[in-house]
Amino acid sequence: MSVLDCLLKDIKTEGIYNRHYKVVVIERFINKLPFLTDRMADAEETKRVILGQIGEQALNALRESGIDVDSAITKILEERAKQQKGLEAQAESGDINNMMTSELAYKSSSPEDAYGLEFARRLRGIGLTDAQVSSSYHIEQLILSVDGQLSEDRKQPWARRYFLMHDSSPEKLPKKEFLTLSELILITDDANSAFVRDHEVLPEDAWVAVCIAACCAEYTEARYAYEFEGRAEKLGWSKSQRGAYTRNECLLTDRLKWGNGDRPAWTPETCDLGLYQK
């Protein structure tokens, strides 16, 4: 069922006559369009694109049901903008607990500075030896030393970085060899979200790029997930250690990028390897 069909179905439900539910119907639709909302800075342009995606048929049905579409969209976007500003403030606070693990290596000048020590604490927390921690740190530093298309992006808070946009294409995807361990997870997480939420609205080239990067369906290529698994395995990480690293990094994006909950990452509880031995 398309996004439009789902919207029309919601409109026809009995609950549509509840004033609060009328806003929920539109919000549910907007939540399916993250490429056209979270990734667009201009509110008026965002509203224009949303109205275009809803289409005249659905707009007429919404208005006939008594919904003030413009006011509802404005209210929803204002609430989302407020939420995003809060998440941005958290990510930009400089709090070491809000940094991706490879971001610590990026900011670190030495294994003995605050960033290097936190990098080591996290990896030791999932059972890596001192030798494995040292090897991982130096390989991350080597990758980060390559000055390329990601250099500017790395200056921003990593947990909120977007790798796949409305104008993405297979040719624009970053080379997997040039991505750190956290970036391999970040681009996969970003692609998985786009795959689930944006399939109805993505241009063909962007959709192909998403299918290359995502790992959430049989026909997705999982290019970056396989690179993460292979590289970490060469570093001597066990399957459960790879799972623990991935889960903790995704807890950061869940909280700081997607706004899903406030569970902290890289705690003794979230690093318990028993949780990942399945």
Encoded tokens for 92 = 């930009």
Task: Tell me what pLDDT residue 216 has.
Answer: 92
Q: What pLDDT score was predicted for residue 252?
A: 96
Q: Which of 38, 64, 91 marks a domain boundary?
A: 91
- Side chain identity at residue 179, one-letter code: L
Residues 44 and 112 in one domain: no
Are 30 and 155 in the same domain? no
Long-range CB contact pairs, 220-226, < 8 A, 24+:
220/191, 220/195, 222/188, 223/173, 223/176, 224/176, 224/179, 224/184, 224/185, 224/187, 224/188, 224/191, 225/184, 225/188
Claim to verify: residue 60 and residue 117 sit in the same structural domain: no
Q: What is the C-alpha end-to-end distance of the chain, expressed in Å?
A: 34
Which of 91, 116, 131 is a domain's end point?
Answer: 91
Whole-number Å distance between alpha carbons of 245 and 91: 19
For residues 112 and 85, state if they share a domain.
Answer: no
Return the pLDDT at 95: 87
Are 163 and 244 part of one and the same domain? yes
Report yes or no: 150 and 178 within 8 Å, Cβ to Cβ.
Answer: yes
CA gap 216, 263 in Å, rounded = 23
Which structure tokens are listed for 205? 């080239």
Domain extent for 20: 3-91
CB 83 within 8 A of CB 34: no
Written as one string, the DSSP assignment of the chain is --HHHHHHHHHHSGGGGSHHHHHHHHHHHHTT-GGGTTT---HHHHHHHHHHHHHHHHHHHHHHTT--HHHHHHHHHHHHHHHHHHHHHHHTT--GGGS-HHHHHHH-SSTTSHHHHHHHHHHHHTT--HHHHHHHHHHHHHHHTS-STTTTGGGS-GGG-----TT--GGGSPPGGGS-HHHHHHHHHHHHHHHHHSTTT--HHHHHHHHHH--SSTT---HHHHHHHHHHHHTT--HHHHHHHHHHHHHHHHHHTS------SSSTTTT-GGGG--
pLDDT in tens, the chain (278 residues): 454 555 556 555 544 444 444 555 566 566 555 555 555 556 677 777 777 766 777 777 767 767 677 777 777 777 666 666 655 655 565 689 999 999 999 999 999 999 999 999 999 999 999 999 999 999 999 999 986 778 899 999 999 999 998 899 999 999 999 999 999 999 999 999 989 877 777 889 999 999 999 999 888 999 999 999 999 999 999 999 999 999 999 999 999 998 888 899 999 999 999 999 86
Q: Looking at the structure, do residues 85 and 113 belong to the same domain, yes or no? A: no
- Measured between alpha carbons, how far is 132 from 123 in angstroms, rounded to an integer? 9
Tell me, yes or no, whether 75 and 211 share the same domain: no
pLDDT of residue 196: 86
Number of domains in the chain: 2
- Given this model, what pLDDT does residue 38 score? 58
Q: In the listed set 70, 91, 112, which residue is the last one of a domain according to the structure?
A: 91
**What is the spatial distance between Cα 278 and Cα 275, in angstroms, rounded to a whole number?**
8
Q: Is there a single domain that holds both residue 84 and residue 46?
A: yes
Q: Are 245 and 275 in contact (CB under 8 A)?
A: no
Residues 263 and 185 in one domain: yes
Contact 259, 87 (CB under 8 A): yes
Tell me the one-letter amino acid at 90: Q
CA distance 202 to 168: 9
User: Is the domain of 66 the same as that of 126?
Assistant: no
pLDDT, residue 118, reads 96
* Same domain? 85 vs 111: no
Q: What was the pLDDT predicted at 7?
A: 55
Residues 206 and 74 in one domain: no
